[in-house]
Structure 1
Amino acid sequence: MTRYRFETEEHQIFRDSLRKYLEKEAVPNYDQWENNRLIPKSFWKQLGEMGYLCPQVEEQYGGLGLDFSFGVVISEELERVGSSLVGVGLHNDIVVPYIESYGTHEQKKKWLPNCVTGDAITAIAMTEPGAGSDLANIKTTAIRDGDHYIVNGQKTFITNGINGNVFLVAVKTDPKADPKHKGVSLLIIEEGTEGFTKGQKLNKVGLHAQDTAELYFEDCRVPVENLIGDEGKGFLYMMDKLQQERLVVAIAAQIASEDMLETTIDYIKSRRAFGKPISAFQNTQFKVAEMATKVELGKTFLESLIEDHIAGKDVVTKVSMAKSWLTETAREISIECMQLHGGYGYMEEYKIARRYRDIPVASIYAGTNEIMKVIIAKNLGL
């Protein structure tokens, strides 16, 4: 049975193979990764060997030349294991596409093959201590000095910040540009570059195995050839790619909701109170019916969005709606499902406890849900 209208037999084989691999290699180790606060690089290498890193990359650069629909399959199956695997989706569907779309042939030859094998783990460094969704006002500068840029500044909340070794960094190449967004550019800065250091792994409420860190640049000399695209167009590139980034977040939220609902239905059927399963109580049935309806509506909306995105349509408004609504829905479902688990839902050994911790940040990253509503309102002509 296919999950989406666009799924073919090839998609099903791909999904089944990935799911079996994750059940063997990720599921049994996931709790330990959470305790270690880090996913091992060896897991990344295994994903690369199996063809699950950047399958959309052209064959000449080591990829499989597949479309975004296969990325959807990967994102969904990783999320079923746990939200701390979000860094893989960021690598596959968010960072690498910048190099694919705006990089030169030489840049693609240099970085893409390693992105496919897992030798390169990418991250995107937009957010700063004083600039989150307001990307035009970033303070990190990259001033041209001959054949190099001199980079100074700080980035924070960077996904893959510890494991990462290839960073796509938003910088101000023209701090005096007016309007401000025209001074933003994108640079690749590699681990080991003099003047570039990583801070400690940040201790988060959730996503414990996902490595988030601060990055520091002090007179960091970056070759001009590491500029991605044209100088001064970084803001436009980020706006263009945020549609897919927010769609990826929406997909993860939908899968989390489905997983929580499925887990909770299994639990309430087996848990007994007052001589009968708690699934027999009308209040429980109404709660589950409401959640199941939201999950089904979310899946249908998401399916049409994915199809339109693959077709190259501009669905910024609808993606903003999906990102906002699906992440908020996932948060609501996490609360309801924890309540239906009773005291056991508050125990770390139960998956719903982890979901409850992991989900809230989805309404913050990739642009806060408040920003999503601003975009929706603007595009509605308000």
Structure 2
Amino acid sequence: MDFTLSKEQRDIVRAAREFAQGEFTNRALEFDRGETFDLEIWRTACELGFVGTFLAEEYGGAGLGFLEHSLITEEFWAVDPGCGQSVLAVTFGAELLQLFGNEEQKQMVLPELVEGKAIMCSCITEPEAGSDPSRAATSAVRDGDGWRINGSKMFITNGTIAKYSLIFAATDPDNPDRHARHSFFLTPTDVPGFQATKLKGKLGIRASDTAEVALSNLWVPDEALVGELGHGFQYLMAFFNRTRLHICAQAVGLARGCLDESVKHLKGRVQFGQALAKFQANQFKVAEMATRIRASRNLYWEAAWNVDRGKVDHGLIAMAKWFSARTAVEASDEALQIHGGYGYFDEYKVQRLYRDAKILELYEGTKEVEKIIVAGTLLG
């Protein structure tokens, strides 16, 4: 096995790190406090080729893999998770559209995402249907040569700034197979019946837009259906098997940021007449942090490498998602402990990292769901 990145991949990592350090560092605290983001940074990232690298060249992407996208994600999140999310999550849903959309749908949306002309959201989670999307109650009912959609979606990334949305809705709610009840629809967001309200007061990744979306008699034509009717749940699982790789990279990046800040603090601060780095208890903390980060990265590299070669290992992806997210949460806790009282204030990066970390164990599948998936691959 060769864990060495190619020259192209190393160049991508270097460029992503330099971009994030140059664009995020001086404004991350501003965005966190204001729960906002400067979209000019996203447009610049598009111009430089960081957005939508996993999209095929015919749709304006770089034609690279999910591993390369994850490498960029790790570097962005190591500098600032909120900014990293705001720049890279603009394509959230493009993974599904590229897999299952028709050519007209892909040509309409995907190039605009890469060019910095559009942002995408995916309306999946509902107030009463989070970890079990098969229970989603949003309905799509036949109406003429289209569908009438009604329902409520919650915690929607990019909800108020997206130009296009994928909507997960029940098209056959009485089907005895609950995995055959739902379908996906693609729609612009500037249509009657689509209303997004920004959610404020988030614990972390505050620069990233999150919304509640109300769908009220939203009409979409038959052409809005993505793929086949009743295949929405299967499409969603395939989608998550790609996007969870991004979450792994986010977690490793955040944990790396915690380690970097901890090492810098330990070397620079003196207590009891010597640098904090001299204390064995602190040495143990950074040693454990570094080991878990390396293990997490190896897990997601293997999982992403497999996906890019057509082998989607559901259990391995779940392992990587659960373990890397736990690594990030533990690393942020130890980093704040190392900083002591200083880490309790947002002028110190570790305070933001501490708040940003928890979402990794919640979105795209909670840690409990990931463990269930892993157990299922073992126990049947």
Query: Given the two structures, how large is their TM-score scaled by the length of structure 1?
Result: 0.94
Q: What pairs up with 1:1-382 in 2 under 5 angstroms?
A: 5=3, 7-84=5-82, 85-92=84-91, 94-381=92-379
- Mark the CA change 1:243 to 1:6 in structure 2 (over 3 Å): closer, same or farther: farther
Equivalent-residue separation in structure 2 for 1:101 and 1:88 (angstroms): 22
Unpaired segments ≥5 residues, structure 1: none
Equivalent-residue separation in structure 2 for 1:18 and 1:286 (angstroms): 30
1:121-157 CA-to-partner distances (Å, cap 9, x unmatched) read 0111110000001111101011111222101000000
Deviation at 1:201, TM superposition (A): 2.7
Q: Is the 8 A contact 1:161 1:212 kept in 2?
A: yes
Secondary structure of 2:326 counterpart? helix
Equivalent-residue separation in structure 2 for 1:6 and 1:143 (angstroms): 51
1:99-121 CA-to-partner distances (Å, cap 9, x unmatched) read 11111111111111111112110
Q: Is the 8 A contact 2:157 2:209 kept in 1?
A: yes
Equivalent-residue separation in structure 2 for 1:168 and 1:241 (angstroms): 12
Q: How many residues align?
A: 378
Deviation at 1:25, TM superposition (A): 2.4
Q: Percent identity between the aligned chains?
A: 33
Structure 1 range deviating more: 329-338 or 151-160:
329-338
Q: Is the 8 A contact 1:155 1:214 kept in 2?
A: yes
Equivalent-residue separation in structure 1 for 2:282 and 2:22 (angstroms): 34
Equivalent-residue separation in structure 2 for 1:105 and 1:90 (angstroms): 23
Equivalent-residue separation in structure 2 for 1:187 and 1:72 (angstroms): 27
- Mark the CA change 1:25 to 1:296 in structure 2 (over 3 Å): closer, same or farther: closer
Structure 2 counterpart of 1:123, one-letter code = C
Secondary structure of 1:43 counterpart? helix
Equivalent-residue separation in structure 1 for 2:163 and 2:232 (angstroms): 21
Structure 1 range deviating more: 247-256 or 11-20:
11-20
- Mark the CA change 1:292 to 1:337 in structure 2 (over 3 Å): closer, same or farther: same
Deviation at 1:29, TM superposition (A): 2.1
Secondary structure of 1:380 counterpart? helix
Unpaired segments ≥5 residues, structure 2: none
Q: Is the 8 A contact 1:162 1:201 kept in 2?
A: no
Structure 1 range deviating more: 21-30 or 177-186:
21-30
Secondary structure of 1:28 counterpart? coil
Secondary structure of 2:240 counterpart? helix
Q: Is the 8 A contact 2:81 2:205 kept in 1?
A: yes
Deviation at 1:59, TM superposition (A): 2.6
Structure 1 counterpart of 2:124, one-letter code = M
Equivalent-residue separation in structure 2 for 1:287 and 1:26 (angstroms): 27
Deviation at 1:34, TM superposition (A): 1.8
Secondary structure of 1:11 counterpart? helix
Structure 2 counterpart of 1:60, one-letter code = E
- Mark the CA change 1:19 to 1:39 in structure 2 (over 3 Å): closer, same or farther: same
Where do 4+ consecutive residues of structure 1 move more than 4 Å? none
Deviation at 1:6, TM superposition (A): 5.2
Deviation at 1:87, TM superposition (A): 4.3
Equivalent-residue separation in structure 1 for 2:267 and 2:59 (angstroms): 50
Structure 1 counterpart of 2:119, one-letter code = I
1:172-201 CA-to-partner distances (Å, cap 9, x unmatched) read 111222112211000112111111111133
Q: Is the 8 A contact 2:45 2:87 kept in 1?
A: no
Structure 1 range deviating more: 34-43 or 115-124:
34-43
Equivalent-residue separation in structure 1 for 2:340 and 2:79 (angstroms): 23
1:312-367 CA-to-partner distances (Å, cap 9, x unmatched) read 21311111111112111211111111111111111110111001101011101101
- Mark the CA change 1:15 to 1:282 in structure 2 (over 3 Å): closer, same or farther: closer
Structure 1 counterpart of 2:96, one-letter code = Y
- Mark the CA change 1:345 to 1:82 in structure 2 (over 3 Å): closer, same or farther: same
Structure 2 counterpart of 1:27, one-letter code = T
